[in-house]
Structure 1
């Protein structure tokens, strides 16, 4: 729990803010992107998350990890953003990367095609299923952390993950035909 010492703190230094941004910036931006599906909105939301954390660090109670607290802020900001503006459909963030071993141009091409297909499948998932998948796989939150962040029970998160995987497997098999 790297930033747990910020519990019961009313302020943080700019240096501490920089450390937070370095540690969690990419994760927060990718999570915001997973919700909004818009790179520019995700960048704006990520910046706003860290500004809110900087100004409201005193509201961090330590009931969860600092990362989970930042994700909760990001989620709320992203949902508010989506409610107030039209969200364009854009390809999901790059969280699936082919291995960088020695490959031929042909294998690189087919690997990229597979990644694009998988991105499309994930993007087509209902928002609640996609969010559960992204929080647990990409951002490595525990079931309890994801459930707390999403405001649902752990069982609901497990159910959403199961349904997401089932849909992905079905669509992947259909795409192979």
Structure 2
């Protein structure tokens, strides 16, 4: 496909036919990689469309310095990371704000590392959701929203001592839940 594709970079060739061939050849790879990074089917669908629109627009800028597949997957990664950094996803998907912004920067971590970090975060948040409400809320307020003990106490209308006690118990329960899920191989 590489050499075959390069001969069609001359102006005047039907870019639509080339795009159709690229989508046929690399469409599954693009969708799978987008899904691997976002863990969302709807996002992978949207990202795949955006990738091939970008490929269509920038078709004549491909210089052959990397493989064609590598070029397309780089575009996919950039689109997926932009999606993950978007304000909508940060507000809607639990856990995205919880990670440090540096982890979401393309230059600070590989795509694999970002995906592994997201998977770990997802697993931790699943365990948080198993906690009783009174423990879950202090964990979310303390670690997700980074409120102080005084702010959490005011928010929950309880004493700071109660917040500290609940947070301590929540940490112990989280430790037990994580150990249990590790034993079970989850």
Higher relative contact order (CA 8 A, sep 6+): 1
The higher radius of gyration belongs to 2
TM-score after normalising by structure 1: 0.48
Greater helix proportion? 2
TM-score after normalising by structure 2: 0.46
